[in-house]
Amino acid sequence: MKTYISVLSIAGSDSSGGAGIQADLKTFSALGCYGMTVITATTAQNTQGVKAIHSIPVNHIADQLDSVLQDITPKAIKIGMIDRPDVVDCLVDKLEGSDIPIVYDPVMVATSGDRLIQEETIDVIKEKLFPITTLLTPNLDETEILCGFKVYNLTDMRKAASYLQHFVPNAVLIKGGHLQTPVIQDLLVFADGKERVFESEKIQSSNLHGTGCSLSSAIAAELAKGKELEEAVNIARNYIYEAILHGKSIKTGKGSGPLNHFYHPQKQIIHEME
């Protein structure tokens, strides 16, 4: 019997299609995987900013997750926007103890600068969600919110990773794209202290909406294919680099446009079930 490589995104919806669930599904498809969703919130937003957020009732989030897990077991899970403590409790209750790799992109600030999370949710996330996370992928803004101090360089990123690993038992990827440097440095640190610094040229583009969502989804897709974590991060970063490069000259909306997710799409991967 044949099957697809299924990946689940638990995140918010972006009405403009550039970030959130929409970016996740595009990424999964572009990388040959079968995407599934649990929507935690709907946002009224466009390339210029977030206008409104509607939180999905937690019982409906639970119903969505139950419906998926009772029928289709994902090979990996990406978690994005979680805006309330009760949603954290719901997800941990259903996912704790699972051997499915979980990539958590702690979405707290939109590309436009809009805040997307309640303050009281952060402590609950650290206490309950971080311990079941395979890989945490904060950008610098999110890193500063989580750590409580400013991050200006790679030394600060290492300090932040050390702090976050008091809560995350596995790996942390701190994304350095917001630093004012010509080269982007992303720091991957494992539980045993091993680290790798990924470097890439910074592309001058105004079309960066959904970059973090797409990266975490790409990592989840590669983990679902069976890649080891370091290799999955490397492949995902290369995919995002090319998606930004191929999308920088395409105008979508009046603000920060999306990436070109389908610059070189893979065919749907089909596996033989054992």
- Walk me through the domains of the chain, giving residue ranges and CATH numbers: 2-272 (3.40.1190.20)
Question: Which residues are 83's β-sheet partners?
Answer: none
CA atoms within a 13 Å half-sphere pointing along the CA-CB vector of 125: 24
Pairing type for strands 270-272 and 183-189 reads: unpaired
Given the structure tokens 């999905």, which residue do they identify? 56
> What's the confidence (pLDDT) of residue 55?
95
Given the structure tokens 């995987």, which residue do they identify? 33
The one-digit pLDDT tens for each residue of the chain (274 residues) are: 899 999 999 999 999 999 999 999 999 999 999 999 999 999 999 999 899 999 999 999 999 999 999 999 999 999 999 989 999 999 999 999 999 999 999 988 766 666 667 778 899 999 999 999 999 999 999 999 999 999 999 999 999 999 999 999 999 999 998 788 889 999 999 999 999 999 999 999 999 999 999 999 999 999 999 999 999 999 999 999 999 999 999 999 999 999 999 999 999 999 887 6
> What's the confidence (pLDDT) of residue 151?
95
Which residues 6+ apart lie within 8 Å of 60 measured at CB?
Answer: none
Question: Which residues are 102's β-sheet partners?
Answer: 77
- State the Cα–Cα distance between residues 236 and 184, nearest whole angstrom: 15
Question: Which residues are 188's β-sheet partners?
Answer: 173, 196
What one-character-per-residue DSSP string does the chain give? -EEE-EEEEEEEEETTSSSHHHHHHHHHHHTT-EEEEEEEEEEEEETTEEEEEEEPPHHHHHHHHHHHHTT---SEEEE----SHHHHHHHHHHHTT--S-EEE----B-TTS-B-S-HHHHHHIIIIIGGG-SEE--BHHHHHHHHSS---SHHHHHHHHHHHTTT-SSEEEEE-TTSSSSEEEEEEE-TTS-EEEEEEEPP--S--BTHHHHHHHHHHHHHHTT--HHHHHHHHHHHHHHHHHHHTT---SSSS-B--TTSSPPPPPEEE--
Given the structure tokens 């991060």, which residue do they identify? 233
Q: Map residue 168 onto helix, strand or coil.
A: coil
φ, ψ dihedrals at 134, nearest 5°: -80, -45
This prediction's pTM: 0.96
> What's the confidence (pLDDT) of residue 83?
87
- State the Cα–Cα distance between residues 146 and 184, nearest whole angstrom: 21
